[in-house]
Amino acid sequence: MRYEVVLGERTMIVELEALGGLLTVDGRAVAVDIREIRAERAWHVLIDGSAHDVTVLSPPRQDPLRLQVGGVEVRGRVSDARTVSARLTAKASGAHTRVELRAPMPGLLKALHVREGDVVDEGTGMATLEAMKMENELRSPARARVVRIAVRAGDKVEGGALLVVLGPIGTAVEPEVGQE
Partner 1 sequence: MRLTKVLVANRGEIAVRVIRACRDVGLRSVAVYSEADRDALHVRLADEAYPIGPAPATQSYLRGDKLIAVARGAGCDAVHPGYGFLSENAGFAEAVAAAGLVFVGPPAAVQRRLGDKIAARRLARDAGVPVVGGTFEPVADLDAARGAAEQIGYPLILKPAGGGGGKGMRIVATAAGLADAWRGATGEAQSALGAPAAFVVEHFVGAARHVEVQFVADDHGAVVPLGERDCSIQRRHQKLIEETPGPSVDETLREGLFDAAVRVARAAGYRNAGTAEFLVAPDGSFTFLEVNTRLQVEHPITELVTGIDLVQLQLRLAAGEPLPFARADVRAHGAAIECRLTAEDPFAGFLPAAGTITVVREASGPGVRLDGALVPGMVVASEYDPLLAKLACWGVDRPAALARMRRALGEMVISGIPTTLPFHRATLGEPDFVAGRYDTGYITAHWPRETVLGEEAAVAAAIVAVLVSRSAASGAPSTTDPAATDPAVPGAWARAGRHEGLR
Binding residues for partner 1 (CB under 8 A):
3, 5, 7-10, 12, 14, 16-19, 21-23, 25, 29-61, 65-78, 80, 83
Interatomic CA distance for residues 93 and 78, integer angstroms: 21
Could you list the beta-strand ranges (E) of the chain: 2-7, 10-16, 23-25, 28-29, 32-37, 42-47, 50-56, 65-69, 72-80, 99-102, 107-112, 119-120, 125-131, 134-139, 144-149, 156-157, 162-167
Q: Which is nearer to partner 1, 7 or 173 (CB)?
A: 7
| Contact criterion met (CB below 8 Å) for 88 and 95 | no
Q: Which is nearer to partner 1, 19 or 177 (CB)?
A: 19
Amino acid occupying residue 105: M
Q: Which is nearer to partner 1, 41 or 98 (CB)?
A: 41
Q: Which is nearer to partner 1, 66 or 110 (CB)?
A: 66
Q: Which is nearer to partner 1, 63 or 180 (CB)?
A: 63
Angle in degrees, CA 128, 130, 135, rounded to 5 = 70
Report helix, strand or coil for 92.
Answer: helix
Interatomic CA distance for residues 136 and 79, integer angstroms: 13
**Local structure of residue 103 (DSSP, 8 states):** -
